[in-house]
A and B are shown apart, each in its own frame.
Chain A
């Protein structure tokens, strides 16, 4: 294929020396090996990814469209949807601002302790979701460090909406920063320096030079952050208290319905999240393609 011009020379030499020329098979596998490997890969992915995804929608729609619609418009489900949207609407923008600030500091400047900072930013990813919830119980629970004070002032954080929002912020903390830091590091800061030399202010430089350059990476981080924010289960489960209609997010509502053997209801609510996952993956693929294009364009330049 594309390797032909490169391999032509050694091949010609080989022929000149009287050795047999390279057959195309020498740098790829026999057809049956290829077929076998593709078969194994497809079987594995079908079994572990495709079948479970299909099962969600199948179970959700099993008892018909009317039951499905009734399941997701039922008041408890509806309040779970609203709470999930609220938690994501707070967590995602906050982590977005953090991600941009962190990427600006880390990618554009040199300072000591940068690697430590990078490790610390990644920390929430390596902590079990259950532990992410536990730390807020230790802080704000009745026996927790701030528990007595909060109780005196009649502020509820744990087993209430603020706790859910905090846990969501924690588990989605690194997403945007993680996408932006490598992207901005690879872009360097020549364009920004040029803008500043030409007299643009710092903010103007950021809005008109940096932001257009990182917009795809930013969007990528945001959709991943959002998917996790809406889907987080473990951490939120620990801090929620599972009060129906009040502190249940969509994933927690799924759990309650499932444990009550309302399988269709559970899958109906779950299908909303599965749909979100599919949309996230679709947008992600499009962005990856754009990033790839941007990258090859900048390489040619």
Chain B
């Protein structure tokens, strides 16, 4: 129940131990730690975020609707959410393969590659942004190769897709990897000894096991990409109606001192984030349930 969503330990031990601590108020510091937690949370997160809600309520309904449905902002939603969807989908395919290869196969340099997967978490977005832009601009290493094919990446929506794929890369790998590691090989052996081909074992045994994790990774990558700013602004070209992402549009509104407009659009993005957060929580609960029912 209270076991963590991404428990680092074997799930069996956690529940056994929490059942043992029935006299749970033996430990001191409950009021101090919880009090400080709530105080700090309110000060740093809740009060500042409530400013956004307060500001939204000062808008009229008509003004709000106008601000969040103008043609330029609609175009930015299509780009931000569209590219995030495609990017997350690419990450499900390639991230799934990477996770599989890292868990199941042995090859030289595996540990370094495993560590490198987290690069998009560790590399500041501005650095990623200028690196990708330089690579994909017309005389960059990769842009040069693509130019003869008539493919332009930098300063087009395709560039946005590249940046958003980069930024979401670790999510699928890191959610699928532990599930594959914990998956019981005996099930696959059982399937094989019952006469299933390797492909049948994959589609009937392995894929259903990792499906919740794949979906969680997809949602996480999508959520991260839809709000992403730093890595995109350099490569996008930022042309209104064509390659302008929603977070950039918020910044533009702010620079024009249109705080109300910026707030309204931010509210829409926040709403999408909340829905995604809820979806991710449900998916993770499903992953956990799947994992537990398989173990029993």
Q: Name A's B-contacting residues (CB within 8 A).
A: 3, 6-7, 10-11, 14, 22, 25-30, 34, 37-38, 40-42, 44-45, 47-53, 55-56, 59, 94, 97-98, 101-102, 104-106, 108-111, 114, 117-124, 126-131, 134-139, 141, 143-145, 166, 169-170, 173, 181-183, 185-190, 192-193, 196, 202, 206, 217, 224, 227, 230-234, 237-238, 250-252, 254-255, 258, 263, 266-267, 270, 273-274, 276-278, 280-282, 284-285, 291, 295, 298-299
Give the Cβ gap from B27 to chain A, nearest Cβ, in Å. 5
Residue in B closest to A26 when the chains form the complex, CB atoms: B192
**A114 pairs with B234, CB closer than 8 A:** no
B227 at the interface (CB under 8 A from A): yes
B166 at the interface (CB under 8 A from A): yes
Contact with A along B221-247 (1 / 0, CB 8 A): 001001111100010000000000001
**B14 pairs with A134, CB closer than 8 A:** no
**A186 pairs with B97, CB closer than 8 A:** no
Residue in A closest to B193 when the chains form the complex, CB atoms: A10
Contact with A along B194-226 (1 / 0, CB 8 A): 000010010000000000000000000001001
**B52 pairs with A134, CB closer than 8 A:** yes
| Given known contacts A131-B270, A282-B115, A273 and B49 CB-to-CB distance under 8 angstroms | no
Interface of B is mostly: helix
Residue in A closest to B80 when the chains form the complex, CB atoms: A128
CB-defined contacts of A128 to chain B, threshold 8 Å: 226-229, 247, 250, 266, 269, 273
**B125 pairs with A231, CB closer than 8 A:** yes
| Given known contacts A51-B141, A131-B250, A270-B126, A10 and B189 CB-to-CB distance under 8 angstroms | yes
**A45 pairs with B52, CB closer than 8 A:** no
**B24 pairs with A120, CB closer than 8 A:** no
Q: Known contacts A55-B135, A182-B8, A186-B8; can you find 17 more A-B pairs with CB under 8 A?
A: A37-B101, A45-B116, A51-B142, A52-B166, A53-B119, A101-B36, A102-B41, A126-B276, A128-B266, A129-B228, A131-B250, A182-B4, A186-B14, A234-B125, A251-B125, A251-B127, A295-B8
Name the interface residues of B1-26: CB closer than 8 Å to any CB of A.
2-10, 13-14, 17-18, 20-21, 24-26
CA distance A145 to B229 in the complex (A): 26
**A27 pairs with B192, CB closer than 8 A:** yes
CB-defined contacts of B118 to chain A, threshold 8 Å: 281, 284
**B27 pairs with A182, CB closer than 8 A:** no
**A48 pairs with B169, CB closer than 8 A:** yes
B281 at the interface (CB under 8 A from A): yes
**B117 pairs with A131, CB closer than 8 A:** no
Give the Cβ gap from A133 to chain B, nearest Cβ, in Å. 8
**B104 pairs with A28, CB closer than 8 A:** yes
CA distance A255 to B124 in the complex (A): 12
CA distance A269 to B223 in the complex (A): 29
| Given known contacts A55-B131, A170-B45, A190-B17, A231 and B124 CB-to-CB distance under 8 angstroms | yes
Find B263's partner among A119, A134, A192 (CB 8 Å cutoff).
Answer: A134
**B97 pairs with A233, CB closer than 8 A:** no
Residue in B closest to A278 when the chains form the complex, CB atoms: B122
CA distance A34 to B97 in the complex (A): 11
CA distance A47 to B18 in the complex (A): 46
Find A189's partner among B21, B48, B186 (CB 8 Å cutoff).
Answer: B21
CA distance A129 to B36 in the complex (A): 25
**A34 pairs with B105, CB closer than 8 A:** yes
Interface of A is mostly: helix
Q: In the complex, how many residue pairs between chain A and chain B have their CB atoms under 8 Å apart?
A: 337
CA distance A231 to B127 in the complex (A): 9
**B44 pairs with A170, CB closer than 8 A:** yes
**A280 pairs with B122, CB closer than 8 A:** yes
Contact with A along B55-92 (1 / 0, CB 8 A): 10000000000000000000000000000000000000
**A129 pairs with B9, CB closer than 8 A:** no
Residue in A closest to B29 when the chains form the complex, CB atoms: A202
B165 at the interface (CB under 8 A from A): yes
Find B130's partner among A139, A196, A237, A254 (CB 8 Å cutoff).
Answer: A254
CB-defined contacts of A126 to chain B, threshold 8 Å: 223, 227, 273-274, 276-277
Give the Cβ gap from A7 to chain B, nearest Cβ, in Å. 5
Give the Cβ gap from A38 to chain B, nearest Cβ, in Å. 5
**A52 pairs with B135, CB closer than 8 A:** yes
CB-defined contacts of A251 to chain B, threshold 8 Å: 124-127, 230
**A108 pairs with B115, CB closer than 8 A:** no
B254 at the interface (CB under 8 A from A): yes
CB-defined contacts of A190 to chain B, threshold 8 Å: 17, 20-21
**B111 pairs with A285, CB closer than 8 A:** yes
| Given known contacts A232-B124, A281-B115, A109 and B24 CB-to-CB distance under 8 angstroms | yes
**B189 pairs with A7, CB closer than 8 A:** yes
B34 at the interface (CB under 8 A from A): yes
- A-B pairs, 5 with minimum CB distance: A231-B124, A128-B227, A186-B9, A188-B17, A182-B4
CA distance A119 to B254 in the complex (A): 29
**B227 pairs with A255, CB closer than 8 A:** no
Residue in A closest to B47 when the chains form the complex, CB atoms: A139
CA distance A37 to B102 in the complex (A): 10
